[in-house]
Amino acid sequence: MFKVYVKAARLRTLPLSVSGIIVGSFLAASHGYFNWVICGLALMTTVGFQIISNFANDYGDGIKGTDNTDRIGPKRAIQSGEISPKQLLKTIKITSAITFVIAILLIYTAFDKDDFFNLLVFFVLGIASIAAAVKYTMGHKAYGYSGFGDFFVLLFFGLLSVCGSYYLFSKQLNFTIFMPACSIGFLSIGVLNLNNMRDSVSDAKSGKNTIVVKIGLEFAKYYHYCLLIASFLFALLYSFIFYKSWHQLLFFLAYIPIGKHFLVVYRNKRPVLLDPELKKLALSTFLFALLFGLGTFLAS
């Protein structure tokens, strides 16, 4: 049974989920702010949010019938019958409680007990993050079924992950941090967009109106190209503004596999063949986070 829950947690998505924390942590360290405890707790919290989201996605799509024989990707836990909806719902509640406790520890480690404003803001953000993870496909008004998944990925995987983690270390925020945050956010949306292109037929039949379902596969490809190009341009702009050494261009290496991925999507005629690209783009995003963060730190 443990293996079934591990499978439902979709461990392959975790590198993508921590990419924003990696970038935010490196940026903070490059400006002289860093704390290993905060970094560790932030990574654990983010992993918790992602696992909640994966469980909730399995539960929501499972009970709504979105995960059916038309779906191209691997079978989910409820779809395969390996876990009952009741069991998975209980697991979601337990995981949410554990993650919330870790988030509280993170907040109280990062801020003084008298810093009421920051404590309150991040407490609310923690609750909002859990709610967003759960409401993607669960409930009658799941935002993933209305085409808002892309926006929330940008908000939580990009802006909040990078800028929020940077703020936890530095207690301040510069608008330029939003540039690499957008890079991570756009690449993360790209992973979701791939998933939605792959599942566009089954999603349309099930009433899951993702961006891809709304605009069609051809325009979804153009949308995908824009996401990849914009992610590169924002990272390049940040590096140009604060350029000090060639190390800041290390992230170019991550765009070699991303460029190959771009060509695969461009040539693709069958959505089923896009499934392997999810893992490739997710790992490329993780590589980008490491190289961009390390390059920025080495140049500081």
Nearest Cα residue to 224 out of 150, 284, 287: 150
pLDDT at residue 225, rounded to an integer: 97
Structure tokens at 237: 């702009």
Q: How confident is the model at residue 215 (pLDDT cuts 50, 70, 90)?
A: very high
Whether pLDDT at 300 is above 80: yes
Amino acid, res. 249: L
pLDDT at residue 202, rounded to an integer: 83
Q: How confident is the model at residue 81 (pLDDT cuts 50, 70, 90)?
A: low
CA max distance for the chain: 58
Contacts of 183 (CB under 8 A, 6+ apart): 158, 230, 231, 232, 234, 235, 238, 288, 292
Contacts of 11 (CB under 8 A, 6+ apart): none
Q: How confident is the model at residue 1 (pLDDT cuts 50, 70, 90)?
A: low
Q: Identify the three-state secondary structure at position 235.
A: helix
Percent over 70 (pLDDT), the chain: 94
Q: How confident is the model at residue 66 (pLDDT cuts 50, 70, 90)?
A: low
Whether pLDDT at 115 is above 70: yes
Contacts of residues 293-297 at CB distance under 8 Å and 24 or more positions apart, as own/partner, are: 293/22, 293/23, 293/25, 293/26, 293/27, 294/26, 294/247, 294/250, 295/239, 295/247, 295/248, 295/249, 295/250, 295/251, 296/26, 296/27, 296/30, 296/239, 296/242, 296/247, 296/248, 297/26, 297/29, 297/30
278, 194 contact by CB (below 8 A): yes
pLDDT at residue 281, rounded to an integer: 96
Q: How confident is the model at residue 71 (pLDDT cuts 50, 70, 90)?
A: low
pLDDT at residue 282, rounded to an integer: 95
Q: How confident is the model at residue 114 (pLDDT cuts 50, 70, 90)?
A: confident
By the 10 Å C-beta count (0-12 exposed, 13-18 middle, 19+ buried), 125 is classed as middle
- d(CA 200, CA 205) in angstroms, rounded, equals 9
pLDDT at residue 75, rounded to an integer: 62
Q: How confident is the model at residue 169 (pLDDT cuts 50, 70, 90)?
A: very high
Q: What is the dihedral of CA 6, 21, 143, 217, to 10 degrees?
A: -90
N residues, the chain = 300
Q: How confident is the model at residue 61 (pLDDT cuts 50, 70, 90)?
A: confident
What residue spans define the domains of the chain?
Answer: 14-299
- Structure confidence by residue, pLDDT tens digits, 221-258: 999 999 999 999 999 999 999 999 999 999 999 999 99
Contacts of 253 (CB under 8 A, 6+ apart): 287, 291
Mean residue pLDDT of the chain comes to 90
Q: Mean per-residue pLDDT for 89-118?
A: 93
Whether pLDDT at 68 is above 60: no
Instruction: Kindly give the residue spans of alpha helices, DSSP state H, lying in the chain.
Output: 2-9, 14-30, 36-64, 77-80, 85-110, 116-135, 149-153, 161-170, 178-198, 200-206, 211-215, 217-241, 255-267, 275-299
Q: Mean per-residue pLDDT for 182-189?
A: 97
Nearest Cα residue to 8 out of 64, 77, 105, 74: 77
